[in-house]
Amino acid sequence: MTDEFDVDLFVIGGGSGGVRAARIAAGYGARVSLAEEYRIGGTCVIRGCVPKKLMVYAGRFADEFEDAAGFGWSVGEPRFDWSVLKTRRDAEVSRLESIYDTNLERAGVTVIAERAVIEDAHTIRLVASGRRVRAKYILVAVGAYPVKVPVIPGGDLGITSNEVFELETLPERILIIGGGYIAVEFASVFAHLGSRTTLLHRGDRLLRGFDDEVRDALGLAFDKRLDLRLDQTVERLERRDSGISATLGDGSVIEVDQVLVATGRKPAVSGLGLENVGIETDESGAIPVDAFSQTSVPSIYAVGDVTNRAALTPIAIREGHAFADTVFGGKPWAVNHDLIATAVFSTPEIGTVGLTEDQARERFEAVDIYKSSFRSMKATLSNSAERVLMKIIVDCASDRVLGVHIVGHDAGEIIQAVAIAVTMGATKADFDRTIAVHPTAGEELVTMRVPAVTKRPEGVG
């Protein structure tokens, strides 16, 4: 590499995608600098997946204490202390942050705790110090930020998933607006920790894009656990002595202590200097890239949420890795975004991979739908009403499993293993010849023999 440049790679953003790319590139001998204006680890580690999952665990103890009685345990009156959880959670996040920091350092990456702006195709300006760095390649990995939409009077009174981790007390009453991942996960967390929780969504079902039966199952479970309001909007928020009052679209008013707005996230491109190099964002505000994460400027690449391909941590990591292998390792490869397994850490949990029933019906001539809805074994003695849903979608012509959807305990863990089979192109016959692990909930996936529904064109089969 030539001396015309100070570094071979300058990464903007120290989240999942940026950190992976920086480490792998440095491993190939590249001189790498990485700028992060906030904390190393990005949304996932600092104010996303990791602290959220710790809160999910905390919430689920509520059910465990209740369930224990059916198995002969008597536990006293359970009491929850928010400040203990917050302190311990924050300490764990800081521990992980320092591991990220150390790993970068060990890989030989120079970390710069400043905001970076693109000045031209090879120049970065560091805002606080005014320093300029010349880079052979620039990688934009700045992620996304939560948005509060629509803009309503008093909207500032609502917090987002960034501030929710800073709350010093557990709100007695909380209103959560939205019906996506973040809304349903936090609705579960707060309802289980003991907040009176209202989840309000503009649509008639939660989790758009998921299989309809999964959405229905979650809606039913939520209806029992919290105040679920569908087809509803919030028109106005006002501060009162006793809390925040929310006026809803139907004119009714509810009063709460906190309002969490979880109405989506937008790529964090503002002030990045994209206009200096002529990169135009798409209609979602994201940076357009090709399969190798290259932008319209050959020396500038982008990975992760800022490209809005699939806003998930493991995807950002893969994209960062593929970029470094391609540009610095001489091993070009592109991430396949077609088949992505995902989990929603609501309670009940959701695990899903592949096509929904509707998508499969649209794309394939004939599909079989296998379904099982049952009470888990644990629920028999605990008397819990929680049900498990498992659904397999199969292409009749090839017998290939097109999609698997699970609602219930450990759905995320189960789907990770199933996703290997589906990624390998497993057929229903492969599922059928797999020996069941007994007694588990997962065995249902290999014991469903008769399709619940078969959708074939008229006159076929």
CB of 274 to ligand NDP, least distance (A): 22
Question: Parallel, antiparallel, or unpaired for β 265-267 and 32-35?
Answer: unpaired
173/265 with CB nearer ligand NDP: 265
Closest to ligand NDP by CB, 342 vs 416, is 342
Q: Which of 122, 321, 409, 438 is catalytic?
A: 438
> How far is residue 149's CA from residue 23's CA, in Å, rounded to a whole number?
36
403 is in an annotated binding site: no
Q: Any binding-site annotation on 179? A: yes
Q: How far apart are CB 403 and ligand NDP at their closest, in Å?
A: 17
Q: Please answer whether residues 335 and 318 qualify as being in contact, where contact means their C-beta atoms are separated by less than 8 angstroms.
A: yes
In whole angstroms, what is the distance from residue 449 CA to residue 432 CA?
Answer: 8
CA distance 413 to 263: 27
Contacting positions for ligand NDP (CB under 6 A): 149-150, 178-183, 185, 201-203, 208, 262-265, 311-312, 342-345
Residue 86 marked in a binding site = no
User: Is residue 178 part of an annotated ligand binding site?
Assistant: yes
User: What helix, strand, coil percent values describe the chain, rounded to 5?
Assistant: 35, 25, 40
Rg of the Cα atoms in the chain: 24
Are the CB atoms for 118 and 272 separated by under 8 Å? yes
**Number of neighbours of residue 128 by Cβ within 10 angstroms:** 11
In whole angstroms, what separates CA 266 from the centre of its chain? 14
Asked whether residue 184 is marked as a ligand-binding residue, the answer is: yes
Residue 181 marked in a binding site: yes
Active-site residue, 438 included: yes
Phi-psi category of 226—alpha, beta or left, where left has phi over 0 and alpha has psi -120 to 50?
beta
Kindly report the number of other CB atoms within 10 A of residue 250's CB atom. Answer: 10
Report the residue number whose CB is nearest to ligand NDP.
Answer: 180
In this complex, which beta carbon is closest to ligand NDP, that of residue 137 or of residue 181?
181
CB of 374 to ligand NDP, least distance (A): 24
Minimum CB distance to ligand NDP smaller for 293 or for 382: 293
Closer Cβ to ligand NDP, 180 or 194, answer by number: 180
State the binding site for FAD.
53
Return binding residues for NAD(+): 178-185, 264, 305
- Binding-site positions read 53, 178-185, 264, 305
Active site residues: 438
